[in-house]
């Protein structure tokens, strides 16, 4: 562990903060891969600079968060086949979209005054929740998101983050 955080009082992370770090690393790793894939296609120099700034910042964030993984409860390592990694990436991206959709619809409903708009947004929110459940169940069945096995869940994050950082 890095000595940038000398005030840690425990020799391990709490479960809830471990899971928050997991969410951040997984989401940012997928985003980093997408940014790196798109970067060469960006023609506008100013936009290209913004992309580079985002890539550098997200890379730093991931590296810093990964330093906490050895402090997570119950760590262990396990590998994956290349086809599984691609499927895991694609479905992870889809899960991220579903999560953001649920959050965005929930927030939009709180800002709505018109009953007809609220009704439509609520229907969309319920659809987003249902889609999230379907994606999660698919990931769980394929063992891409082993939510009840913290060791494997965190190892998947480390593998995904390392792949994002090295591409």
The 10s digit of each residue's pLDDT in 35-44 is 999 999 999 9
Q: Is residue 31 part of a domain?
A: yes
Element (H, E) at 103: helix 82-110
* pLDDT at position 131 over 60: yes
- Compute the mean pLDDT over every residue in the chain, rounded to the nearest whole number: 81
**Which residue segment(s) compose the domain that 159 sits in?**
15-166
pLDDT tens for 70-113 read: 888 764 434 445 455 567 767 877 888 888 888 888 998 999 88
Q: Is residue 93 part of a domain?
A: yes
Cα distance between residue 88 and residue 30, in whole Å: 10
Q: Is residue 6 part of a domain?
A: no
Q: Is residue 7 part of a domain?
A: no
Sign of CA dihedral 17, 19, 24, 25: positive
109 neighbors 121 (Cβ within 8 angstroms)? yes
Q: Is residue 128 part of a domain?
A: yes
pLDDT at 76: 43
């Amino acid at each position: 562990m890095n000595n940038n955080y000398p005030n840690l009082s425990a020799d391990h992370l709490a479960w809830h903060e471990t899971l928050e770090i997991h969410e951040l690393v997984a989401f940012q790793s997928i985003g980093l891969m997408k940014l790196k894939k798109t970067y060469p296609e960006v023609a506008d120099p100013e936009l290209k600079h913004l992309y580079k700034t985002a890539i550098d910042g997200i890379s730093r964030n991931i590296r810093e968060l990964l330093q906490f993984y050895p402090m997570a409860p119950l760590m262990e390592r396990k590998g994956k086949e290349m086809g599984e990694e691609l499927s895991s990436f694609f479905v992870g991206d889809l899960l991220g979209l579903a999560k953001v959709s649920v959050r965005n619809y929930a927030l939009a409903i709180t800002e709505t005054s018109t009953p007809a708009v609220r009704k439509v947004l609520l229907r969309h929110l319920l659809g987003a929740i249902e889609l999230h459940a379907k994606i999660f169940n698919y990931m769980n069945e394929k063992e891409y998101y082993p939510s009840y096995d913290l060791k494997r869940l965190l190892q998947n994050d480390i593998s995904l983050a390392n792949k994002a950082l090295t591409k």
